[in-house]
């Protein structure tokens, strides 16, 4: 882009893409009368937007008191995860079945939720030796949003739908929308498009069951973490619960696919000294022998633990 249009400025649009096309065709930007912003009653009732009575005097607390309060609040994360145990187990089964049949698993989110999805997806190849395309993260605002706040991007449902089309999501795939409120337009737009493509869909939200969040998905995972210590800051308890839930879904699916040996990362990508050391210790633990012998066998097989084990069995 910089080479083709050196004077261009790239930013996230605040108006629908169709308007931008019309402006380009006209050769000018028409004057628009802005619509007055109005509070959203749907967002206002979300539990993640409520006032936490336990943290009303947050700015008056000493550092140790802050720590104690944060740690105490994490109990709500545990309760939320336990309440969602059955749904999380169903999610593992759903994702594993798709991956076993040639499908892919997508996370879709905005802001903190999107970053958590991208983070979890990025860890699958080195941990389980899976191809990068197997588990993918989609974040509103694109790659820039992983490092910088592009919060306005979450309001574009059409962009969410386009992201699904661009990734080629099909009936073989599973798409997990991540939204603390359960109402993020980018996420809902992506899930609706995925359903039209006959993909299986999950909605992971931190609002309790029984509210008005849409339920037209194959599975809904509710993590009712309650009001945040810092009102509305869902990078806190909601973010922690979401991170654990994504760990459960992806790790559980990889276990179902046979990409572990007991609790050992038999398919890890040994791409640095630390991981090559771990691979050698894994091989010693499973097949026996001394450390130097394990490293020699692994080097012979491209530091692939599974291949080294297979060769040992044939010998």
Domain assignments of the chain as residue spans, ordered by start: 53-256, 273-314
Asked if 115 and 141 count as a contact pair (C-beta separation under 8 A), the reply is no
More confident call, 131 vs 149: 131
More confident call, 221 vs 154: 221
Asked if 246 and 227 count as a contact pair (C-beta separation under 8 A), the reply is no
Asked if 198 and 170 count as a contact pair (C-beta separation under 8 A), the reply is yes
Res. 45 pLDDT band, cuts 50 70 90: confident
Query: Of 25-34, 90-99, 123-132, 171-180, which gets the smallest average pLDDT?
Result: 25-34
Query: Of 30-34, 93-97, 121-125, 197-201, which gets the smallest average pLDDT?
Result: 30-34
Q: Write out pLDDT tens, residues 241-295.
A: 999 999 999 999 999 999 999 999 999 999 999 999 999 999 999 999 999 999 9
pLDDT of residue 282: 94
Q: Of 216, 220, 156, nearest to 186 (Cα)?
A: 156
Verify whether residue 73 is a known catalytic residue: no
Query: Once rounded to an integer, what is the mean pLDDT over residues 73-86?
Result: 96
User: Who's near 305: CB < 8 A, 6+ residues apart?
Assistant: 266, 267, 268, 270, 279, 282, 283, 286, 298
pLDDT of residue 22: 56
Query: Once rounded to an integer, what is the mean pLDDT over residues 208-228?
Result: 79
DSSP string of 71-99, one letter each residue = HHHHHHHHHHHHHTHHHHHHHHHHHHHHH
More confident call, 75 vs 15: 75
For residues 241-280, b (16+ Cβ closer than 10 Å) or e, as one string? bbbbbbebbbbbbbebbebbeeeebbbbbbeeeeebebbb
Query: Once rounded to an integer, what is the mean pLDDT over residues 148-170?
Result: 90
Res. 12 pLDDT band, cuts 50 70 90: very low
Is 70 exceeded by the pLDDT of residue 303?
yes
For residues 180-206, b (16+ Cβ closer than 10 Å) or e, as one string? bbbbbbbbbbbbbbbbebebbbbbbbb
CA dihedral 242, 248, 249, 254 (to 10 degrees): 150
pLDDT of residue 136: 98
Res. 149 pLDDT band, cuts 50 70 90: confident
Annotated active-site residue in 154, 166, 216, 228? 154
Res. 142 pLDDT band, cuts 50 70 90: confident
Residues 16 and 31: their CA atoms lie apart, in Å, by 15
Verify whether residue 292 is a known catalytic residue: no
Residue listed under structure tokens 């008191």: 65
Question: In the numeric block, which tokens belong to residue 280?
Answer: 């050698």
DSSP string of 232-274, one letter each residue = T-TTTHHHHHHHHHHHHHHHHHHHHTT--BTTB-TT----SHH
Annotated active-site residue in 49, 74, 75, 123? 123
Query: How high is the mean pLDDT of the chain?
Result: 87
SS3 content of the chain, % helix, strand, coil (to 5): 50, 10, 40
- Distance spanning both ends of the chain, measured CA to CA: 55
Neighbours of 56 (CB within 10 A): 9
Is 60 exceeded by the pLDDT of residue 39?
no
Asked if 235 and 254 count as a contact pair (C-beta separation under 8 A), the reply is no
pLDDT of residue 7: 54
The highest-level CATH class for domain 53-256 is alpha beta
């Amino acid at each position: 882009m910089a080479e083709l249009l050196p004077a261009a400025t790239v930013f996230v649009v605040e108006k629908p893409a169709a308007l931008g096309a019309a402006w380009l065709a006209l050769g000018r930007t028409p004057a628009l009368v802005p619509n007055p912003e109005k509070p959203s009653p749907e967002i206002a009732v979300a539990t993640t937007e409520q006032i936490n009575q336990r943290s009303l005097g947050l700015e008056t607390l000493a550092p140790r008191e802050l720590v104690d309060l944060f740690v105490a609040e994490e109990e709500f994360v545990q309760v939320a995860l336990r309440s969602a145990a059955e749904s999380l187990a169903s999610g593992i089964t759903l994702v594993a079945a798709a991956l076993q049949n040639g499908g892919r698993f997508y996370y879709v989110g905005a802001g903190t939720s999107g970053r958590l999805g991208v983070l979890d997806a990025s860890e699958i190849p080195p941990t389980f030796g899976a191809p990068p395309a197997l588990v993918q993260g989609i974040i509103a605002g694109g790659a820039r949003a992983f490092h910088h706040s592009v919060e306005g991007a979450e309001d574009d449902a059409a962009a969410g739908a386009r992201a699904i089309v661009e990734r080629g999501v099909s009936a073989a795939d599973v798409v997990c929308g991540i939204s603390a409120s359960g109402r993020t337009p980018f996420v809902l737009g992506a899930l609706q498009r995925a359903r039209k493509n006959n993909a299986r869909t999950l909605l992971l939200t931190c609002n309790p069951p029984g509210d008005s969040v849409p339920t037209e998905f194959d599975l809904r995972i509710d993590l009712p973490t309650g009001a945040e210590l810092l009102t509305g800051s869902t990078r806190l308890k909601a973010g922690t619960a979401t991170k654990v839930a994504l760990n459960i879904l992806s790790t559980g699916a990889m276990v179902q696919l046979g990409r572990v040996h007991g609790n050992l990362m038999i398919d890890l990508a040994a791409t640095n000294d630390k991981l090559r050391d771990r691979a050698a210790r894994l091989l010693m633990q499973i097949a026996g022998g001394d450390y130097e012998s394990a490293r020699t066998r692994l080097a012979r097989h491209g530091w692939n633990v599974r291949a080294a084990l297979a060769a040992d069995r044939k010998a």
